[in-house]
Amino acid sequence: METLEVSDLYQASWLLLNSCELSKVQCIPTGGSVSCLLQFSGTKLIELMDTWFAKEAVVNLWAFRTAYNQINSYVHQAKKNFDLSKRGGSL
């Protein structure tokens, strides 16, 4: 099984929509803000990335919207947890 890390939320949504498993969301400080790397695993990651970079990705818009909202939710929660851990867990 292959693994891949991406930071593009559209690309992450595409992978999720195509049956790849989101296995990890890692926050990384970038200057004054925080970015997230999303790690996916799956058996057809290389094929999916070839399709993505060839600009041949096609989606059902409603399903893509749902996947994008799910990815956004994971990223928001990861950033919230990262912020809490930086402050020592206090609210």
Structural domain boundaries in the chain: 2-86
pLDDT at res. 90 = 52
Report whether pLDDT(91) > 60: no
Q: How far apart are CA 7 and CA 54, in angstroms?
A: 18
Q: Which tokens hold the place of 49?
A: 């990335």
Provide the 8-state DSSP code for 43. Answer: S
User: Which residue would you say has higher pLDDT here, 56 or 88?
Assistant: 56
pLDDT at res. 67 = 98
pLDDT at res. 83 = 87
Contact 78, 28 (CB under 8 A): no
